[in-house]
């Protein structure tokens, strides 16, 4: 058994003079939910296409479930492509059965599993509708069902949240958690940090084809200093771990509100302990953890987030 579900080693992909993926290395452990994050044009789709053997790397190597990318992996893979191209004259259930058969399932098994999925996705009544009669979001759920019908060991989802309303985004999150609970490895790309924040064990941040960060959500947060809002009688900059204090206004009776910026890596709870250890009183203590969005902007800049 492979120690990793997926491993890229020094992978580069160029298209003419465009370097879409630039010396990228990372590994995804078996059973992990892994977020592949980056703005438009960062190289996410190109990387995932190489994993699926739709295109080949210019240099470097890829291991998928312990093997090279290729058809041999197909029975154990599930893939939701970014472009939601399906045969529009086919019915929802026939589409799912078609993909199930491609992955080596019997028609009966694929139909049984497909109907259960459509039911779970709120599409039981649409099983025999042709896809051109379904809304975009409904068709996307059919495509998701096609990607998971074979209960893949490695599920790869390219921008799966785009085009779904909030209810269906929640349904997709549940489906990702369900696949993970079932033992699958899930890799999904997104430029929406909130999904990654809620779902990923680890994530990778890509900008201009290059890896800029790989680690847990907490590791990512620790790249930025935490901030606290406190109501105190003095600015607390003498407390170890407090890097800066900005007064935000008077709170009466000699108390003031301060916004404290902690030194990188310092935990708010430790500062609170030190404050009380020093015998200083606080009337209010609110922490503001940096979001993944803040981290993303810090690492790649606003331009990297949108270009």
List contacts with ligand ATP (CB under 6 A).
Answer: 15, 18, 20, 38, 40-46, 82, 191
Least spacing, CB of residue 198 vs ligand ATP, in Å = 20
Q: In the bound complex, what is the minimum distance in angstroms from residue 20's beta carbon to ligand ATP?
A: 3
What minimum distance in Å lies between the beta carbon of 119 and ligand ATP? 31
Task: Report the residue number, 93 or 203, with the smaller CB distance to ligand ATP.
Answer: 203
Listing DSSP states for 235-257 in one string gives --TTSTTEEEEEEEEEEETTEEE
H-helix or E-strand spanning residue 6? strand 4-15
Residue 48 CB, nearest approach to ligand ATP (Å): 8
Compare residues 117 and 203 and give the one whose CB is closer to ligand ATP: 203
Q: Exposed (0-12), middle (13-18) or buried (19+): which is 167, by Cβ within 10 Å? A: exposed
- Running DSSP on this structure, what letter comes out for residue 62? E
Beta pairing class for 4-15 and 18-29: antiparallel
CB of 300 to ligand ATP, least distance (A): 12
Residue closer to ligand ATP, measured from CB, 126 or 189: 189
The minimum distance between CB 97 and ligand ATP, in angstroms, equals 29
* Angstrom distance (rounded) from CA 235 to CA 241: 13
Q: Residue 206 or 271: which CB sits closer to ligand ATP?
A: 206
Minimum distance from residue 213 beta carbon to ligand ATP (Å): 15
Nearer to ligand ATP, 232 or 305 (CB): 305
Complex with ligand ATP: residue 54 or 124, whichever CB lies closer? 54
Q: What is the DSSP letter of 67?
A: B
Q: In 3D, which of 196, 131, 117 has the Cα closest to residue 161?
A: 196
Strands 185-190 and 154-158: parallel
3-state secondary structure of 212: strand
Chain centroid, CA 166 distance in Å: 16
The helix/strand/coil state of 23 is: strand
Token couple for 131 = 């896809």
Which tokens in the block code for residue 97?
């059965």
Nearer to ligand ATP, 10 or 237 (CB): 10
Is the separation of the CB atoms in 58 and 18 below 8 Å? Answer: no
Cβ-based neighbours of 174, under 8 Å, separated by 6 or more: none
CB of 17 to ligand ATP, least distance (A): 10
Count Cα atoms within 13 angstroms, Cβ side, for 262: 28
Which residue, 18 or 124, has its beta carbon nearer to ligand ATP?
A: 18
């Amino acid at each position: 058994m492979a120690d990793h579900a997926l491993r890229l080693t020094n992978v580069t992909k160029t298209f003419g003079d465009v370097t879409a993926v630039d010396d990228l290395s990372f590994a995804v452990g078996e059973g992990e939910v892994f977020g592949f994050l980056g703005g438009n044009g960062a190289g996410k789709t190109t990387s995932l296409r190489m994993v699926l053997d739709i295109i080949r790397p210019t240099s470097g190597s890829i291991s998928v479930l312990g093997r090279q990318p290729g058809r041999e992996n197909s029975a154990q893979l599930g893939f939701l492509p970014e472009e939601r191209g399906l045969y529009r004259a086919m019915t929802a259930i026939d589409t799912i059965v078609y993909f199930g058969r491609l992955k080596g399932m019997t028609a009966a098994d694929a139909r049984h599993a497909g109907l259960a999925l459509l039911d779970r996705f709120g599409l039981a009544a649409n099983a025999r509708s042709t896809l051109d009669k379904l809304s975009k979001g409904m068709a996307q759920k059919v495509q998701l069902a096609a990607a998971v019908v074979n209960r893949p060991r490695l599920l790869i989802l390219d921008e799966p949240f785009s085009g779904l309303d909030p209810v269906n985004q929640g349904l997709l999150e549940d489906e990702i958690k369900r696949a993970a609970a079932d033992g699958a490895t899930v890799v999904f790309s997104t430029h929406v940090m909130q999904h990654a924040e809620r779902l990923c064990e680890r994530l990778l941040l890509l900008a201009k084809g290059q890896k800029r960060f790989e680690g847990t959500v907490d590791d990512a947060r620790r790249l930025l200093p935490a901030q606290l809002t406190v109501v105190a009688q003095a600015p607390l900059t003498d407390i170890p771990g407090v890097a800066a204090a900005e007064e935000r206004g008077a709170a009466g009776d000699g108390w003031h509100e301060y916004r404290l910026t902690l030194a990188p890596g310092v935990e708010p709870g430790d500062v609170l302990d030190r404050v009380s250890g020093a015998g200083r009183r606080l009337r209010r203590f609110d922490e503001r953890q940096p979001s993944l969005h803040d981290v993303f902007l810090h690492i790649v800049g606003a331009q990297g987030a949108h270009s």
